[in-house]
């Protein structure tokens, strides 16, 4: 972190030496005051994006239209963004376009919360135009200016406020909270990929109980009906839960994710559906190594975790881990016999697949050893039966 700050200061100096204002801004300044490590440093400057590009050797125009140039220094990446004021907010989302400004104040006033609107210059002086330092002391999240306006500009900020509560264990200032409650329905207008990303971040924060309490207090289950059951179950608990478990718990037992509504990646979508399916399997069947062969251990543990925590169901974690540890094969490729070996034994080649399936199950259940000779004699007997049937 020290190194990252050192090179960040080098960027501020280069900009200052060329006559531009430049500051550390946003989450980094907030976290530094709170003694929390940041992963990245954002810089705001009066220099225009093309001027930033010309001052540094190694840059990428990552968001030039919005004023952001990424500057690389010694393996660190810094987002250097020109002071800007947001022009128009459409559909309660981020602005379509921005105007660049020469004044730091314009840039700070457009931000969401006072604790996120602090700037720090190269000398270490903090610029605090909205009482952010005091709010950090009071441990409160307070919108800048009119909270309703802030949330109408970008409703995702409602979820961001929850994230900061979960990260910092701050409370939400009353007017800000009232506006969050009033405006929470606007979240339905935000593209779900942004919601998914923010929910994922929220669920990774340490102060779970506070987060779940806010989900309930703000009636987010009314906005996201697929999550309503999960939100209710989480109330008054502090259990960690992954994003995929959160959705599986919301959908269980009879709802399905609509791909038109929730823009998950295909693999995420399938993991959510599988956790839900596995909850049913764990509830209704005695699990065997065949289940472990067919499903991933991690998803099975995720499903087991939900059943134990939210449905008071018997914990099967040890059993799952044990079955997985002793799994004899993990794929049909691990079988010591192939389709080619079986083909001469059958009259109808369609039966090769059937025999392999049976062999997989029998190996998994310990009915036959995974040795070529044993599998071959087992396959011959199976083939005889099938040949007779045909």
At its nearest, how many Å lie between ligand CTP and the CB of residue 149? 12
- On the 0-12 / 13-18 / 19+ scale of CB atoms within 10 A, 104 is buried
Kindly write down the DSSP assignment for every residue of 317-362, as one continuous string.
HHHHHHHHHT-S-SSGGGSSS-HHHHGGG-SSTTHHHHHHHHHHHH
Q: Which is nearer to ligand CTP, 38 or 216 (CB)?
A: 38
Are 180 and 147 in contact by the 8 Å Cβ rule? The answer is yes
The secondary structure element, H or E, covering residue 105 is helix 104-109
Do 29 and 118 form a contact (C-beta atoms < 8 A)? yes
Task: Between 168 and 257, name the residue whose CB sits nearer to ligand CTP.
Answer: 168
Helix, coil or strand: residue 24: strand
Contact stretch for ligand CTP (CB under 6 A) within 45-53, 155-163, 277-285, 359-367: 155-163
What distance in Å separates the CA atoms of residue 214 and residue 236, rounded to the nearest whole number?
Answer: 10
Nearer to ligand CTP by Cβ, of 172 and 282: the residue is: 172
Q: How far is the CB of 372 from ligand CTP (least distance, A)?
A: 56
**Judged by CB under 6 A, how many residues of this single chain contact ligand CTP?**
11
- Write the interaction track for ligand CTP spanning residues 12-31; mark x where CB under 6 A is met and - where it is not: --------------xx----
- Closer to ligand CTP by CB, 153 or 305: give it: 153
What span, in angstroms and rounded, lies between the C-alpha atoms of 382 and 370?
16
| Residue 130 DSSP label | S
E-strand stretches of the chain: 22-25, 41-45, 59-63, 68-73, 76-82, 84-86, 98-100, 119-120, 126-127, 140-141, 171-172
142 counts as binding ligand CTP under rule CB under 6 A: no
Q: Which of residues 34-73 bind ligand CTP (CB under 6 A)?
A: 42
Tokens representing residue 237 in the block = 């608990």
Q: Which CB, 76 or 239, lies closer to ligand CTP?
A: 76
Least Å distance between CB 9 and ligand CTP? 19
Q: Measured from the CB of residue 148, what is the shortest distance to ligand CTP in angstroms?
A: 15
Which residue, among 255, 218, 210, 237, has the nearest Cα to 310 in the 3D structure? 237
What crossing angle do the helices spanning 243-251 and 266-284 adopt, rounded to 10°?
60
In this chain, which stretch among 6-14, 16-24, 152-160, 243-251 interacts with ligand CTP, using CB under 6 A? Answer: 152-160
Contact track, ligand CTP, 96-135, x by CB under 6 A = ---------------xx---xx------------------
How many other C-beta atoms are found inside a 10 Å radius of the C-beta of residue 124? 9
The one segment of 10-18, 151-159, 369-377, 378-386 that binds ligand CTP by CB under 6 A? 151-159
In whole angstroms, the minimum distance from the beta carbon of 257 to ligand CTP comes to: 26
Residue nearest to ligand CTP (CB): 27
Compare residues 7 and 85 and give the one whose CB is closer to ligand CTP: 85
As measured in angstroms, the least distance from the Cβ of 171 to ligand CTP is: 18
**Pick from 107, 128, 135, 154: which binds ligand CTP (CB under 6 A)?**
154
Cβ-based neighbour number of residue 96 at 10 Å: 11
Comparison of 32 and 112: residue with beta carbon closer to ligand CTP: 112
Task: Please report, as ranges, the residues that interact with ligand CTP according to CB under 6 A.
Answer: 26-27, 42, 111-112, 116-117, 154, 156-157, 160
């Amino acid at each position: 972190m020290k190194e990252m700050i050192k090179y960040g200061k080098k960027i501020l100096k280069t900009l200052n030496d060329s006559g531009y204002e430049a500051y550390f801004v946003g989450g980094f300044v907030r976290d530094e005051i709170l003694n929390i490590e940041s992963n990245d440093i954002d810089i705001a400057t009066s220099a225009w994006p093309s001027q930033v590009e010309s001052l540094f050797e190694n840059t990428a125009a990552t968001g030039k239209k919005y004023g952001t140039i990424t500057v690389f220094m010694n393996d660190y990446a810094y987002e250097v963004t020109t002071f800007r004021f947001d022009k128009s907010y459409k559909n309660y989302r981020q602005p379509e376009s921005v105007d660049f400004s020469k004044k730091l104040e314009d840039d700070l006033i457009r931000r969401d919360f006072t604790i996120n609107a602090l700037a720090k210059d190269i000398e270490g002086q903090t610029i605090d135009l909205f009482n952010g330092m005091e709010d950090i002391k009071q441990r409160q999240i307070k919108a800048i200016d009119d909270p309703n306006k802030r949330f109408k500009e970008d409703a995702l900020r409602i979820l961001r406020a929850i994230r900061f509560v979960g990260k910092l264990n701050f409370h939400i200032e009353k007017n800000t909270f009232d506006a969050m409650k009033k405006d929470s329905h606007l979240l339905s207008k935000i593209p779900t990929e942004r919601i998914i990303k923010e929910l994922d971040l929220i669920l990774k924060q340490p102060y779970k109980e506070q987060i779940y309490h806010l989900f309930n207090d703000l009636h987010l289950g009314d906005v996201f009906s697929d999550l309503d059951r999960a939100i209710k179950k989480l109330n008054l608990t502090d259990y960690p839960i992954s994003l995929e478990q959160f959705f599986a718990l919301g959908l269980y037992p009879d709802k399905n994710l609509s791909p038109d509504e929730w823009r998950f990646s295909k693999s995420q979508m399938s993991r959510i559906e599988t956790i839900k399916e596995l909850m049913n399997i764990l509830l209704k069947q005695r699990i065997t190594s065949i289940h472990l062969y067919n499903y991933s251990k991690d998803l099975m543990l995720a499903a087991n975790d939900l059943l134990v925590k939210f449905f008071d169901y018997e914990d099967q974690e040890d059993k799952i881990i044990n079955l997985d540890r002793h799994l004899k094969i993990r794929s049909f490729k691990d079988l010591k016999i192939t389709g080619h070996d079986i083909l001469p034994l059958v009259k109808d080649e369609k039966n090769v697949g059937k025999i392999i399936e049976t062999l997989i199950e029998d190996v998994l259940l310990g009915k036959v050893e995974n040795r070529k000779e044993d599998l071959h004699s087992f396959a011959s007997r199976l083939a005889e039966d099938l040949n007779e049937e045909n």
